[in-house]
Amino acid sequence: MTVFLSGRPLYVNKELNRSDAFVAAWLPGSEGGGVADVLFGKQQFQGRLSFSWPGSERQRVNRNDGQEALFPYGFALITADQDTIGELSEASIGADCN
């Protein structure tokens, strides 16, 4: 299982491919106990993405740049879901990211 702590959605296809479970914990700060509660089964996962999640290095969140987001705005799973996303592309498009 991977627990991803960040302040925003980031391109993480390589990490997703190597994880059997992936949790975005969104910088829990003083609420780290809430993250532990769901990881250890005391509470159910809940919540929705407040941003789209990029599916490529160059994709910006919440932008219609002609690319589909890996996970769209409002996407959510609950504890009982067993969705899989398959193998994601890890191809780098180079340093032309502005």
**Tens digit of pLDDT for each residue in 23-53?**
888 776 777 788 888 889 998 888 788 888 8
Residues 6+ apart with CB under 8 A from 38: 23, 44, 45, 79
- Token pair recorded at residue 18: 């190597």
Cα separation, 36 vs 30, whole angstroms: 12
Q: Residue 35: which H helix or E strand, with range? A: helix 32-39
Fold topology of 1-98: Rossmann fold (3.40.50)
Res 2: pLDDT: 93
pTM of the model: 0.77
| 8 A C-beta contact, residue 79 and residue 94 | no
